[in-house]
Structure 1
Amino acid sequence: MKKELLLEWLQGRELVYRFFARIYQEGPVIELLSALSGEPFLEEVAAGSQNQDIIEGCREMQVEIASRSGDLKAYQDELREDYHRLFVGPGHLEAPPWESVYRSKEHLLFGEETMAVREFYRSFGLESKNKNREPEDHIGLEMEFMAYLNREAAAKAAAGEGFAEFLQGQRRFLKEHLQQWVPALCGDIQRAARTAFFRGLAVFTRGWLEADGVELEVVIEENDN
């Protein structure tokens, strides 16, 4: 892959992973809703993909946002209620956003999966500021980590330096972590969400991880050759 195309690909992926990181960590903040209402981000992601889940998820979100753009504050209140019911609480969470809840036998926080994610971050020189208070295997933090690996790979590639370790890291993290539990999380979101925004987000997320894993394999193979 030519340098210009590689950088464009890495930067585009960083943007999507940052979007996921923000929405899953912060919820539907008004600034993000305003940006999605006024910019073609979701439309462009859908247009650039052949994955049906990406296309359908982005469009479902886009249609609802467009229909509610006249009163974003009221829409945000509705989305925030859905967000808290799904991910935050109080009370029973319809879609707990932590890997260890889905993958451990006891379905508890700070399990072996959390420790494995913590060590993965450390292997790339990162450590959570909220360690031992906020599990590192929150979906938003895992998405943020993928964005970081993309940014570092792009910086190395732009400087003409080796960036393979950051691609390999992404492949491993997808296979060992994100792809192991996020599809199940997305299924829970889809079933429990009361808004098309979050139902669409679940479909978009699932499709993105699937399609991105395939593209990553192709780019790694090209880079190795």
Structure 2
Amino acid sequence: MDKVKREDVELLLSTREALYALFHRALGCEPNDALIQVLTGEESRVLLSVVPESEAGRGAFRDYLTELDRLAERYAVSPSEVLSGMKDDYTALFFGPGRLEAPPSESYYRDSEGSFLSKHTLSVRREYARWGFGADEHAVEPDDTLVYELDFMRALAKKSLASWLDGELDTELHDAQVRFVNEHLLRWLGLYAGDMRACSRPGVYQQLVQMLWMFVNWDIRMLQSLPLDFDECASCAA
């Protein structure tokens, strides 16, 4: 990242925090009217517009916007019916009953036997503990479930932004995020996105996961290109 201004770094850091929060909310919570309004609103579209860099990425983004437009049009006509359908999709895709077409679990994709609890779960748990992050102890999902991994990255992204605004560069925090994305999210999200793409319930959740995969790839490139010297960044701000 050459000749970057400090306000540009602030914008990037705030954008990634907002996007991790958006994906965590959209993929980790039962849908409601407020979520539909957030997804179809202009702010989330603008946030996600930073992600596509290739022609294929721009095509995926256009597909996502088309799906949002369909959702907004149907919701304007029959909000209760659309919300009920989204709830059905959410339950079927993330909880069941029955075998999930695309289990949102790191261990499932990385363990040779398709386990939902493995050494990867323990690795994620150790990383959470290192940063004082606790997954919901009352939940039945393992720590390496998508919702927790996204919430963990949201929490670290928030810390990064606060660190930058305080004028101190926390390189340990930065390195932890690079490590978690490389060693965890990038190791399984592509496979998960592929299964979601082939699932029998096409719609906004399918498109959201494709956008998440693109975002995580954008995020690691962005993290690795951030200036790690505050004085150098300040000298480029003129």
Whether the TM-score (by the shorter chain) exceeds 0.5 is: yes
Q: 2:46 corresponds to which residue?
A: 44
State the distance in 1 between where 2:5 and 2:64 align.
28
The correspondence of residues 187-206 of structure 1 with structure 2, limited to 5 A, is 187-206=194-213
What is the CA distance between 1:155 and its match in structure 2?
0.9
State the distance in 1 between where 2:119 and 2:67 align.
34
What is the CA distance between 1:56 and its match in structure 2?
3.2
Whether 2:1 is the aligned partner of 1:7: answer no
Which residue of 219, 228, 234 corresponds with 1:223?
Answer: 228
State the distance in 1 between where 2:62 and 2:210 align.
7
State the distance in 2 between where 1:176 and 1:57 align.
29
What is the CA distance between 1:126 and its match in structure 2?
1.8
Query: CA contact under 8 A between 2:169 and 2:228: conserved in structure 1?
Result: no
The correspondence of residues 62-81 of structure 1 with structure 2, limited to 5 A, is 62-70=68-76, 71-81=78-88
2:8 counterpart letter in structure 1: L
Whether 2:38 is the aligned partner of 1:31: answer no
State the distance in 1 between where 2:180 and 2:193 align.
18
What is the CA distance between 1:87 and its match in structure 2?
1.4
Q: TM-score, normalised by structure 2?
A: 0.85
Which residue of 114, 123, 128 corresponds with 2:121?
Answer: 114
Query: CA contact under 8 A between 1:121 and 1:127: conserved in structure 2?
Result: yes
Gaps of 5+ in 1: none
Whether 2:134 is the aligned partner of 1:127: answer yes
The correspondence of residues 45-194 of structure 1 with structure 2, limited to 5 A, is 45-51=47-53, 52=57, 55-70=61-76, 71-130=78-137, 133-194=140-201
Which residue of 16, 19, 23 corresponds with 2:19?
Answer: 16
Name the SS of the counterpart of 1:28 in structure 2.
coil
**Bigger radius of gyration, 1 or 2?**
2
1:75 counterpart letter in structure 2: V
Deviates more, 1:26-35 or 1:85-94: 26-35
What is the CA distance between 1:131 and its match in structure 2?
6.7
Q: TM-score, normalised by structure 1?
A: 0.90
Query: CA contact under 8 A between 2:94 and 2:100: conserved in structure 1?
Result: yes
2:20 counterpart letter in structure 1: Y
The change in CA–CA distance for 1:134 and 1:47 in structure 2 (over 3 A counts) is: closer
RMSD, aligned CA = 2.0
Query: CA contact under 8 A between 1:87 and 1:94: conserved in structure 2?
Result: no
Deviates more, 1:9-18 or 1:188-197: 188-197
Query: CA contact under 8 A between 1:186 and 1:202: conserved in structure 2?
Result: yes
State the distance in 1 between where 2:115 and 2:24 align.
22
State the distance in 2 between where 1:159 and 1:46 align.
26
